A and B are shown apart, each in its own frame.
Chain A
Amino acid sequence: MKKLAIFLSGLAMTSAAAETDFKQDVFPILEAHCFKCHGPDKQESDLRLDSRAGMLTGGDFGPAIVPGDAAKSYLIKAITTDNVELRMPPKGKRLSPEQVATLNNWIAKGAVWPGQKEAVARNRNKTSDHWSFQSLPTEFAHDSIDGFIHAKLDKTGLRSSPEANRHALIRRVTLDLTGLPPTPEEVDAFLADKSENAWRKAVDRLLKSPAYGDRWAQHWLDVIRYADSRGYEFNSLRGDTWPYRDWVIAAFNGDLAWAEFLFQQIAGDTIGIDPATGFLVTAPLPTPPEVGREAAQIRQARFNALDEIVQNVGASMLGLTVGCARCHDHKFDPISARDYYRVVSVFSGVQFNRRLWRSKDAERKKKVAALDTKLSEIEAELRKFPGPRIVERGRYTDFFNAVDARWVRLNIDKTDAKGDGPVFDEIEIYSAGKDVNVALASLGAIASSSGVAKHLGGRDDMLNDGKFGSGSIWTADRIPPAWVQIQLPELTRIDRLTWSRDRDLAVSDSAKHAVRLTSAWRIEVAVTEGKWQPVVPRFRGSPPTEAQRQRQHELEARRDQLQQQLNAMSAPLEVFAGRFVNPEPIHLLMRGDPGRPRDRVGPGALQILKGFELTPGTASESERRAAFAKWLTKEAAHLTARVAVNRIWQHHFGAGLVDTPNDFGVMGSRPTHPELLDWLAAEFIASGWKVKSIQRRILASSTYRQSSSSRGQSEAMRADADTRLLWRFPPRRLDAETIRDSMLKISGNLDPKRGGEGVNIFTRQGSFDQWKPLADPPTGSNRRMIYLTRIRGVDDGMFKTFDLPECGQVKDKRTESTTPLQALNLLNGKFSLKQSAALAKRIEDEAGGNSSAQVTRAFEWILGRPPEDAELVLCQAAVRAEGLETVCRALFNSNEFLFLP
């Protein structure tokens, strides 16, 4: 830059004399070199240079000129820089020094453009008439889902289908809401319920079932690519990721208001809900060794991480591809690069790491305190027993027959820490009968040792300075054998020695430090220097009775047990939900390149949605996030509500009203039923952002309850094969989780345990991403799939082919493919054979040996209906030839089982 400045000032001097003529000198240069990309036909970086206003207004990266100040004008920088990526024109010949001087001089003189004297910078604020940015209407043509749907069908000459049969209905809604099929008993109960509100009761029962959260949470986790591993080369487990997954499940089950759902995921920590912000850090991310040690790559990696957060927020909550504005203003949507960096700035203090889970950790601390109290009580009681040694937490006392001593030595034979020597707070020696600590330095005693760790700041006199606790500790410079010794000022009769370690329990409370506790020791005394005599231990009082001994043993056992519990609970409880640190300053980055910062940008939100921008450096890290989170459901409410109800709709009908649920921008699909979407969004907000209230409306509609058959609807099939107009209920293949969990439930093998750390069915071979399914599935591997550890990109050999997401990119909907590999897995996989066999056995227990009863039961379990006569005949023949297992296996592979009816 310095070079450039000198160069420029030189130019200014040489050409100052010449008067610049705009028309003759300046315009031709601009016309020849700039207008092709920054003119009427093309506006690269949203910049036009064919008018003074255009120059003043500038593009994605600010104004092109500052009249009167050539050095500050971006135009001059661009045509003079040596940086190949920055320089203009990007290709071909550079401007000659004379041409540069001409432009330089022109700007220096005020950039006069004849006829455009009054031109000023235009407001670059974005406006849009795109539908999703418009506020919600308050009046609607209809007041029910069916009203909107039927109106559109009428318009296109199509008609809706009759209500589905009750077998199909209960199967559909149960799979839809819980991801599991109804049991035969649940089907029977629904069929038997002839009351008018039978349907509503069934819906209410299912919405209340915890299985509902297990199902609907996964839809959300899909969007933000939640997984338990890091991805990339190492792909190791992050650990403590599951509390976020459980939080999402609980949020759905508890019908947490959507506004709150969003707020907590962005700033839950501000109201004491720590796991919720796991949302911010779900993306895969390379670890530092994978980034390398080059500064530029490290910076780039940090901005990539921040970009992942912006993508999560933008796609899942706003339905916008905010990330597209990272390198330049969004090509299609009214989102500027500045908008992008405002959002980056909101999250610039977020690190992909764990932090304390405060509510749980407070519980832990309470439990620890309670255990501590119990332990103290036991120890107090233990102290009352006669014995030669008292062991208290942090304090150890040996009693011995009174003996005269001038030197007292504590020999350490062993510690509990391998490879580390002992540590002491203090050594106390008591005079017989008088109970005075004669070891104190203040009384003239002198401490020495086999060696103190001087590099840690230790000194021998810390052994007898009368100070306990971590501020004054003596640490050995060696592993045992070691010794410490006190030289008393005069020959003294003594009968007791106490040594202590971590007496104030500062260290043992935290698992991070080894306690380095002495576990075997001996005491010696000397009257003459060097002539050591062992001391003779004695009981305090009389020797214990048998009853006392027994009680003592009991107490000791209890003490050890409590101590073990305490040890197990010593680590603070953490959650992988982002670590929040001081935000780094954020600048607008030229072409997204961290090496090319421009203006500093404050935290804020999208301008098109009345977004704010705070002055850089004024708001704390958490204030930024909280402000953004509030904005989401206040100023941006009309968009977030639309995006939310569309997702709900999507998972009931297989496709959203907007078929691009992560993109409500110009490039996204238009809603098939725009008014219905708006109406639902308005109702959603009015209901207090209650998901279940919208779901109740959807499920109550005749649109949801109509048949999925295409029989007699050939006209509709021709006109709308995708069923986007909902002339029938659109059938669709079950997803991987539903297929697997259903098979487990039907076979009786589903493990009902919910929540907590995931069960890992994979094992890692070698040190890198080499996960393979375990040959013998571990305990818990038959829990619902959401409770299995999700590792990015792995192949379980069974369900990956059923479009399980790879959890790399944010994803609004699963692909739905049909491949021969699916067929091979489902037909031949160990899992299928196992469940088929288990179900056959279950049915034999439930239905006895009659093949007709067996087949009927198999149909009821797998398809939720009894077989038709022809089916019965077919299947009975198969049972006779190859056994019931074969029928179960065929039914598990059938289209009817695999499709939502």
Chain B
Amino acid sequence: MQQNRRSFLGNLTTSAGGIALTQLLARDGLLAAEGKSPIRPKIDPSRPYASRVSHHPAQADQVLIIFCAGAVSHLDTWDFKPELYKQHGRTPPNAPKVTFEGPIGKMAQPFWDFKPRGQSGKMISDLVPNLAKLADDMCFIHSLTAKNSAHTQAENFLSTGFTFEGYPSLGAWTTYALGTMNEDLPAFVAIADPRGRSQAGPNNWGNGFLPAAFQGTAFSADEPPKNLHASARDSANRATVDLLAELNERHRMEFPGDSELAARISSYELAGRMQTSIPDLMDLSGERRGTLEEYGATSPNQIKAAYARNCLMARRLLEKGVRVVQLFNGAHASGGKKNWDSHSEIFQNHGTHAEIFDQPAAALLRDLKQRGQLDRTLVVWCTEFGRLPFMQANGTGRDHNIDGFTCWLMGGGVKQGFSYGSTDELGWHATENKVTHYDFNATILHLLGLDHERLTYYFNGNERRLTDVHGHVIKDLLA
């Protein structure tokens, strides 16, 4: 689309004509010599969101990313470390004096009890009792590592593969490659937490240097997309659209074959369809009372109820065929009040956030499973990094830990009730099967039928990738 925006060669809706083609080939040749050659999506400019074929057969058609912002303590949730009880209150061995936020304190055992869950007997804490019931569906990675111990950079790294700003997000890459399954809705929806945006904010759903068509559309159950409707009379709106169509049709005669103009005309048609499809989607009035209660949408906790509505909307988006849904839990840094960043009072703060998060998220996953949606949907639960096994000097909170933490997958194409990799006995450093976000993202793309080494876009002297020049698909996770 970028290289050949005006090509419109009969049935060959994309591909490259003339010079551009030879240049691409030359560049591809260079790359081929290096390793793998890029696979460029065939994008019809008049239908940028049309569904496109994957590189290889996909295990999942859609992806739901549940992003807990602020860094959830793996030690108090998914990564059970009995040794911490023994070490509790002791001086941590071989620890630096200062970690991200400041001087360190003593070792601390988990703040919640762990119990075996499901058939697999996976040890999960009481902080997330509802999600824990789904242990047999989860595929844990306990050995993740991050590159930067600051939230924003780490969020960027997780979502875009770079700690810097301005690189395309996983959702942008995915929709660039695959389009979507329902062109009447945005291909990639980012649902912000009711309390606000996470710290890297829009960079998590940004298009970076990819065309703006692939940026995530941000809206939530309580905040519809902007400008869906005009504050004008219906008849005036209709007349505007009708007149516009006529004017454009006349203008187009001067430009036979010019796909850009055709694309703009069809974008107005699509916009018209979104005017009904999005309100339909956001209208939760048809949901059963029981469903609302299950999700927690009737909770007296306003934030939890709003997050539950977001979860419900996420299900509806996936059902309608939206390719990528990014569902945020937790907003920005706020002394641990608005997101999971618990440098102090971790017991209260994590408790507050889990109360908001656990029930609605579990209901969403259960719902997807019951509806059979999980078979072809990959669920990614992630957080930018973990937390340390010892307290900060204040004695009540845990600082950032980028050397070992947990994320998990579920659904389309991954093993169930499976755990991969591990941290040391303190849950501090990843030891067995160390995984980077590069590997993590490579695996997600792989499940979506995409080769992370061949999904590239030329920018500033390089064929850029979500995984930079790194990443290996974690084959052990694949079902």
Contact = CB atoms under 8 A, between A and B. Distances in A.
A691 interface: no
B290 interface: no
Contacts of B270: 820, 823
A251 interface: no
Interface in B97-144: 98-102
Contacts of B85: none
Contact of B167 (A297, A315, A808, A833): A808
A669 B28 CA distance: 12
A177 to B, nearest CB: 23
A745 B200 CA distance: 36
Interface residues of A, number: 111
B2 interface: yes
Given A722-B20, A820-B271, A711 B98 contact: no
Contacts of A768: 199, 332-334
Contacts of B89: none
Contacts of B225: 821, 824
A818 B256 contact: no
B271 A823 contact: yes
A154 interface: no
A660 B333 CA distance: 39
Contact of A711 (B101, B247, B254): B254
Contacts of A286: 150, 152-153
Interface stretch (A210-218, A674-682, A868-876): A868-876
B321 to A, nearest CB: 16
Interface stretch (A109-117, A394-402, A450-458, A794-802): A794-802
Categorize the interface residue count of chain B: 35 or more
Given A294-B100, A659-B23, A806-B206, A817 B243 contact: no
Question: Which secondary structure characterizes the binding site on chain A?
Answer: loop
B254 A709 contact: yes
Contacts, number: 324
Interface stretch (A415-423, A491-499, A883-891): A883-891
A313 interface: no
Contacts of B261: 895, 899
B446 interface: no
Nearest to B231: A833
A714 B244 contact: no
A809 B208 contact: yes
A293 B393 CA distance: 14
A731 B262 CA distance: 13
B199 A896 contact: no
A660 B252 CA distance: 30
Contacts of A623: none
A4 interface: no
Contacts of A770: 196-197, 201, 332
Contact of B211 (A324, A815, A889): A815
A672 B152 contact: no
Given A667-B30, A895-B251, A292 B149 contact: yes
Contacts of A883: 236
B39 interface: no
A594 interface: no
A666 B203 CA distance: 30
Interface stretch (A53-61, A225-233, A554-562, A611-619): A225-233
Given A284-B165, A711-B254, A878-B239, A808 B271 contact: no
Interface string B229-251: 11111011101110110111011
B264 A881 contact: no
B474 interface: no
Interface stretch (B55-63, B304-312, B358-366, B454-462): B454-462
B159 interface: no
B244 to A, nearest CB: 4
Interface string A816-841: 11111111110111100100000000
B436 interface: no
A896 B247 contact: yes
Contact of A824 (B197, B227, B264, B400): B227
Contacts of B333: 233, 768
A203 to B, nearest CB: 25
Nearest to A822: B267
A811 B165 CA distance: 12
B380 to A, nearest CB: 23
B268 A827 contact: yes
A480 B241 CA distance: 72
B390 interface: no
Contacts of A868: 250
Contacts of B153: 232, 286, 290
A730 B260 CA distance: 11
A620 to B, nearest CB: 31
Interface string A660-672: 1011011111101
A724 interface: yes
Interface in B18-56: 18-20, 23, 26-27, 30, 34, 45-46, 48
Interface string A173-198: 00000000000000000000000000
A798 B258 CA distance: 26
Contacts of A802: 212
Given A810-B460, A815-B209, A818-B264, A332 B30 contact: yes
Given A290-B150, A770-B197, A830-B231, A719 B165 contact: no
Interface stretch (B3-11, B73-81, B292-300, B417-425): B3-11
B75 to A, nearest CB: 20
Contact of A792 (B9, B165, B241, B255): B165
Given A321-B461, A710-B258, A722 B6 contact: yes
A233 B332 contact: yes
A337 to B, nearest CB: 16
A272 B255 CA distance: 52
A819 B251 contact: no
A724 B19 contact: yes
Given A770-B196, A895-B264, A232 B213 contact: no
Contacts of A231: 165
Nearest 6 CB-CB pairings of A with B:
A808-B166, A321-B461, A808-B165, A828-B230, A817-B211, A823-B271
Interface of A: 225, 231-233, 235, 284, 286, 290-294, 297, 300, 304, 315, 320-321, 324, 331-333, 659-660, 662-663, 665-670, 672, 708-711, 714, 717-725, 730-733, 765-770, 792-795, 797-798, 800-803, 806-812, 815-825, 827-830, 833, 868, 870-871, 874-875, 878, 881-883, 885-887, 889-891, 893-896, 898-899
Given A290-B150, A292-B149, A895-B265, 9 more contacts: A286-B153, A660-B458, A669-B23, A722-B4, A801-B212, A824-B226, A828-B232, A833-B231, A890-B243
10 contacts: A232-B152, A290-B152, A321-B461, A720-B19, A817-B213, A818-B213, A819-B212, A825-B226, A829-B226, A882-B235
